[in-house]
Amino acid sequence: MSARRIAVVGGGIGGLSAAIALRRAGAAVTVHERAPALRAAQSGHGLVLWHNAVLALRQLGLDAGKAGYELHTHHFRNRRDRTLATWPMADMAPVYDAPVYSVSRPDLHQLLAEEVGGDLVLGSRCTGFSAGADGVTLRFDDGREERADLLVGADGLRSSVRAGLIPHEPPPRYAGFTAFQGVIKLPGSGVPPHTFLSTWGEGRWFVCYRLGGEHVYWDGVLSDHITAPLGTRITGLLAEQFAGWPDPVPALIAATPEADLTPVPIYDRPPAARWSHGPVTLLGDAAHPMTFNLGQGAGQAIEDAVVLGQVMAEPDLPAALARYEARRVARTARIARRSRANGALTRWRNPVACAARDAFMRLTFDRLVFRKTYDLTMAVDFAERNTP
């Protein structure tokens, strides 16, 4: 049997991970990325690779520690600097056989791209496809066509491949908040080493952690009810909204140039029951976009890639894709729903309601919520089974 020809549309974290997994499964893979350069294909500044994501990368033969900085603790507090919860991530590393890392998105992207090598084609924009029983034909903006046995849409939130599969689907839904992201050199103090620091307020939320070396990633999140006069500088808006918050929040905002800030409106979609039709399937944000409140977007995309590679041992492609969906659709739907629910908590702005939320977190986050969140997101089994 000749190697399956697989075209992956999208050269982000999910698409590159899929290429690695599929190639390890014996397929002939080409990744088509519309951006003309690797850096232009990247989105965002920093992310956390939780235990499950580190395990998934290990399944691809990659060591997340080469790109990451180990995190030992997730510390939650309110804007009055009162501790709400502390999650001992380092203590859970032996349980899940993997630590937690923070990582620069460009560094992770580079690690994956180097593994993919010449199978990544930049400046290659897929504009459509035609699928049939004998495979799929991809069309590109320069007039090229390419035949493949399988098309994997890994082209993100506003996936053109998904639009081709589900032509009249409503657009992604706005989650009600925008993240303002920045990366700066360490300002000298206030950013605890090996700590994921989350600070909660009324309709606002701020996270920060070191990326290793001299850099810190931070994320100031504002609910949609917060407005500013037209022409207001982002740094001015953030300085106003986070004034009086505990260190290092004001210092990080003040130290970040306006040009280095990236506003990212947060969207997701209701979970879909199916991702595949004929010789076309979806992966990562194209399949299950989720809010960032559980930090699982990249991790779930990498998990998708691992499982998609595993099911390619099945010679019958429809059966292989059915197994892929059986192992991934329900898990990602549960995580997406929990992530959206957690995000709703950060949007609360009534002081009485936020005080009740903080009290709830102090009573439950160290025990009940910690255990349930870990059971939901971190416990992943990559053992292949004969499930349909």
In a domain, 75, yes or no: yes
Range of the domain at 47: 5-172+268-377
Question: Which CATH number goes with the domain that contains 371?
Answer: 3.50.50.60
137 in Cβ contact with 129 (< 8 Å): yes
In a domain, 288, yes or no: yes
User: What does the alpha-carbon distance between residue 243 and residue 250 come to, in Å, rounded to a whole number?
Assistant: 7
In a domain, 153, yes or no: yes
In a domain, 350, yes or no: yes
Each residue's pLDDT expressed in tens, for the chain with a length of 388 residues: 689 999 999 999 999 999 999 999 999 999 999 999 876 556 568 999 999 999 999 999 999 999 999 999 999 999 999 999 999 999 999 999 999 999 999 999 999 999 999 899 999 999 999 999 899 999 999 999 999 999 999 999 999 999 999 989 999 999 999 999 999 987 666 889 999 999 999 999 999 999 987 899 999 999 986 665 555 688 899 999 999 999 999 999 999 999 999 999 999 999 989 999 999 999 999 999 999 999 999 999 999 999 999 999 999 999 999 999 999 999 999 999 999 988 888 888 899 999 999 998 888 877 777 777 888 888 888 876 544 4
Sign of CA dihedral 91, 95, 98, 103: negative
* Total of domains in the chain: 1
In a domain, 68, yes or no: yes
In a domain, 125, yes or no: yes
In a domain, 247, yes or no: no
